[in-house]
Chains A and B, each alone.
Chain A
């Protein structure tokens, strides 16, 4: 096996997938859902987002139970034969593409809100250097780093919620579902795609030390992500009100509004803490699974040689991806969901059906 490390289910599944999904979604989901569904954005995240997340994890777990020591790159070859190589290549490309979007979002946010004169490339290069270093160190290091960052990240988010309570007016959330279900459906695509990013665990599951807990931890993670993102969107609407759908980063503005007795104010640095810490982990995870996948696809003895080439690809891709911020938001809201559904649910579901009908893989363990 290319990865010799072992991680616990809590480290590798519960905490890691939380950071992977929440780090970017918390800042961008409130804006994108508010654009489509207005003050009902939180429903999109809570209902359809969670349902989709649970469905995705169910498919992943079922596949994994058939192939307990294989990643999605490996078992797609077992299931689909030579065609599986193509699927694996597509997955690697998707990992790299999504990662370059994340890298770009990271830089764009910092340039837009904190350092307008610093060129984007400075942030991208620094983030990718960090990411490639983490990737070379392997899964265990990424998980342990995340274990350290997770409390900081979670406390920052929770801190913003608690401090924003004073500024919130929850009547801004009313009336609920004024225009019926249609806007909510329209606003659900993007959050669903984000929640589906837990597909990354399909690359990590074989390295989990205590597999019996993995299913439970994955479900916990999906639900926890749902709660946090729903709260983030609700608080944003409660504090920012009708303005939410117009702002680029409403959750950031929410943090800027915090003012308790003119004593605790200007806490937006918390947002930067969680953004930098969370996105670093997210980028490292996607970077790692792309490298690992490539190693497995081409039968390399070590995945480390492909880290730098992938890093270069990521750098160039993220710089050239979007011409401006308007295109990037539009892409995230309109293209990314449908494109991601293929990889998050579409292909795994087809693989599962093929595996079941072709009786491939071991018998699913009960429980």
Chain B
């Protein structure tokens, strides 16, 4: 009986410690949740320093739903922008604490923005930063900003409440137009360290909103309408670890075709002689293969693209609903795809010398022995490599209409 009592007391004593909660608990009201992380390099007193900026959610403001109208002083923004400077990224990050009354908590950041200058200088030092911390996930999106990353963080979101939601929405909505490349940390760094492959990142840019963009209903409200907004479009191309330039939206489309990541989007074609662009081909799915070919002249590649889609728009009254005309549209679409791809290929090969398509990687996977001989000289060989583009487009349906109705 006595032993039993002592046993129970000992267990109760242990419970005393265990039930008081976790050892290293972090109460949510003691944390400052960062959402977007921006990395820049700045020169201070002749020394290069890291500038890390973050937007931190203000929990109270987010909880009180409703339109965020008001006096536009910035005091009622749902987020707070903080930045810190330091000799290393983590020192700069921890220096955020001098501005934050709560502990910074980065596990909920799902966007990393790299400033253009830093990207041009090289992202080699960032690799370690993005991988070593347990709080940064490998599926965090990587974007390169045109201009400093800090500037992007200053932008106010237009549709969503938080800038991070806005950017994530933009990134995830890109498959609808196939005009922007999107990538997460895992693939970004994998491509950096894979032989025969250069990496690329999404490109985020700030643009001035025109007057006409302003919301109609606001009328004479005192809210200062933010004149700047962000968009995610194009591709930031890296050669090794350095940013070498950007692909614009149509080149990005070509790039996405090669890598098989173009999902949806519209291709405008001119079918009839007298019209400029009168047919819209809406892709529903695409696939692509890069096939390395070895012959006496060396290595060449075939890019084989299959696109499938619907006829979305036809601006002319000529009949389209006949197998021959559909065939003609398909051929036009294939030519257009081919043109887009070749444009992207040329730019990446000749202007940037960056193998963002992974031709070298494909060769490595397919013909490891031949790759061994070429690996060291790949950067010299790559710009002159011969790539044949084969494109095929298929129209499956014509929507809710056959021929366009004629006006009499």
- A residues with a Cβ closer than 8 A to B are 112-113, 115-119, 122, 171, 174-175, 178, 239-243, 246-247, 253, 256-257, 259, 265
Contact = CB atoms under 8 A, between A and B. Distances in A.
Contact of A259 (B139, B187, B193, B368): B139
Given A175-B364, A175-B368, A257 B139 contact: yes
Contacts of B134: 112-113, 116
A117 B24 contact: yes
B19 interface: no
B87 to A, nearest CB: 23
A241 B190 contact: yes
Nearest to A178: B368
Interface string B125-145: 000000100100111000000
A270 to B, nearest CB: 15
Interface string B363-406: 01110100000000000000000000000000000000000000
B227 interface: no
B365 A243 contact: no
Contact of A242 (B23, B193, B368): B193
B194 interface: yes
Given A243-B186, A257-B186, A122 B138 contact: no
A116 B25 CA distance: 11
A178 B368 CA distance: 7
A256 B110 CA distance: 13
Contacts of B137: 256-257
Contacts of B366: 174-175
B23 A122 contact: yes
A241 B188 CA distance: 11
22 contacts: A112-B134, A113-B134, A115-B22, A115-B24, A117-B23, A117-B24, A118-B24, A119-B23, A175-B364, A178-B368, A239-B186, A240-B190, A241-B194, A242-B193, A243-B131, A243-B189, A243-B193, A246-B131, A246-B193, A253-B138, A256-B138, A257-B137
Contacts of A119: 23
Contacts of A112: 134
A240 B23 contact: no
A116 B186 contact: no
A256 B139 contact: yes
Contacts of B22: 115, 118
A115 B134 CA distance: 10
Contacts of B368: 175, 178
Q: Which of A113, A122, A240, A241 has the most CB of B within 10 A?
A: A241
A47 B190 CA distance: 28
Contacts of A253: 138
Interface in B177-223: 186-187, 189-190, 193-194
A237 to B, nearest CB: 11
Contacts of B194: 241-242
Closest 5 pairs between A and B when the two form their complex, measured CB to CB? A117-B24, A175-B368, A174-B365, A241-B190, A118-B23
B138 A115 contact: no
Nearest to A113: B134
A242 B134 CA distance: 19
A240 B185 CA distance: 11
A251 to B, nearest CB: 13
A196 B167 CA distance: 51
A120 to B, nearest CB: 12
Given A117-B24, A242-B190, 5 more contacts: A118-B24, A175-B366, A241-B187, A246-B193, A256-B137
Given A115-B22, A122-B23, A257 B131 contact: no
A108 to B, nearest CB: 13
Given A117-B23, A241-B190, A257-B186, A171 B138 contact: no
Interface in B293-352: none
A240 B194 CA distance: 12
Contacts of A118: 22-24
B365 A171 contact: yes
B23 A115 contact: yes
A257 B189 CA distance: 14
Interface in B1-53: 22-24
B186 A241 contact: yes
B131 A247 contact: yes
Given A116-B24, A253-B138, A257-B138, A240 B186 contact: yes
B26 to A, nearest CB: 9
A247 B131 CA distance: 8
A272 to B, nearest CB: 13
B310 to A, nearest CB: 24
Contacts of B24: 115-118
B136 to A, nearest CB: 10
Nearest to B194: A242
Contacts of A116: 24, 134
A257 B365 CA distance: 24
A175 B131 contact: no
Contact of A175 (B23, B139, B189, B365): B365
Contacts of B190: 240-243
Nearest to A244: B190
A253 B184 CA distance: 14
Nearest to B361: A171
A174 B139 CA distance: 23
Contacts of A115: 22-24
Contacts of B186: 239-241, 243, 257
A65 B193 CA distance: 53
A241 B194 CA distance: 9
A118 B134 CA distance: 15
Contacts of B23: 115, 117-119, 122
B163 to A, nearest CB: 18
B361 to A, nearest CB: 9
Contacts of A122: 23
Interface string B255-297: 0000000000000000000000000000000000000000000
Contacts of A242: 190, 193-194
A38 B51 CA distance: 36
A103 to B, nearest CB: 18
A178 B370 CA distance: 11
Nearest to B134: A113
Nearest to B365: A174
Contacts of A243: 131, 186, 189-190, 193
B291 to A, nearest CB: 13
Nearest to A253: B138
Nearest to A112: B134
Contacts of A239: 186
Interface string B68-96: 00000000000000000000000000000
